[in-house]
C-alpha cells in the first residue's frame, strides 16, 4: 500500500512539473505594444524595476508586459551594481517609485495597476481602429 501511494505521489509531482514548464514556455505573450499605455503610465509615475536577466521572477514581469516593457525604466543590477547598492536592492525584482515606495518580489500586472493607479486596459493604436 505504501509503495502504491509513492507511485501516485510521484506521478502527481511529474504532472505538476510538466504543467508548470508548459505554462512557462507557452503562456500567451501580449501583442506588440499592447500595454504601452500602462507601461508609460508606470514610467510617468516614477516606477522603475531593478532586476537581473537570470531572475525567473524578473523574466515573468517582463513577459507579462511583452514589448511594452521597453517603456519601463529598468536597472540590470549585475551590470550596474552601484545603482542597486545605492537603492538598497536586496532581491529581484524590486520596484522602486520616485515617491519612496518599494515593492519587493514579483508583482504581476494587477498588483502594479493597483499600486500605481494606472489602467490595465490595452493600448489601442490607430492601426487597430
Residues 17 and 40 in one domain: no
Q: What is the pLDDT of residues 61-91, one digit of tens each?
A: 999 999 999 999 999 999 999 999 999 999 9
Give the predicted TM-score (pTM) of the model. 0.70
Q: Are 48 and 94 in contact (CB under 8 A)?
A: no
Query: What pLDDT is stored for residue 61 in this prediction?
Result: 95
Query: What pLDDT is stored for residue 100 in this prediction?
Result: 94
How far is it, in rounded angstroms, from Cα 42 to Cα 113?
8
How far is it, in rounded angstroms, from Cα 102 to Cα 35?
22
CATH number where 89 lies: 3.40.30.10
Give the residues across from 47 on adjacent strands: 97
For residue 117 the three cell numbers come to 493607479
Mean pLDDT value of segment 4-29: 63
Mean pLDDT value of segment 92-102: 96
Residues 49 and 75 in one domain: yes
End-to-end CA distance of the chain: 63
Amino acid at each position: 500500500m505504501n509503495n502504491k501511494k509513492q507511485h501516485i505521489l510521484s506521478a502527481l509531482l511529474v504532472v505538476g512539473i510538466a504543467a508548470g514548464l508548459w505554462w512557462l514556455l507557452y503562456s500567451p505573450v501580449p501583442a506588440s505594444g499592447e500595454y504601452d499605455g500602462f507601461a508609460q503610465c508606470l514610467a510617468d509615475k516614477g516606477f522603475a524595476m531593478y532586476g537581473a536577466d537570470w531572475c525567473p521572477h524578473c523574466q515573468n514581469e517582463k513577459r507579462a508586459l511583452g514589448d511594452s516593457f521597453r517603456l519601463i525604466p529598468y536597472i540590470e543590477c549585475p551590470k550596474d551594481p552601484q545603482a542597486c547598492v545605492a537603492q538598497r536592492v536586496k532581491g529581484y525584482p524590486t520596484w522602486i517609485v520616485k515617491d519612496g515606495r518599494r515593492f519587493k518580489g514579483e508583482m504581476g500586472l494587477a498588483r502594479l495597476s493597483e499600486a500605481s493607479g494606472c489602467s490595465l486596459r490595452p493600448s489601442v493604436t490607430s492601426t487597430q481602429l
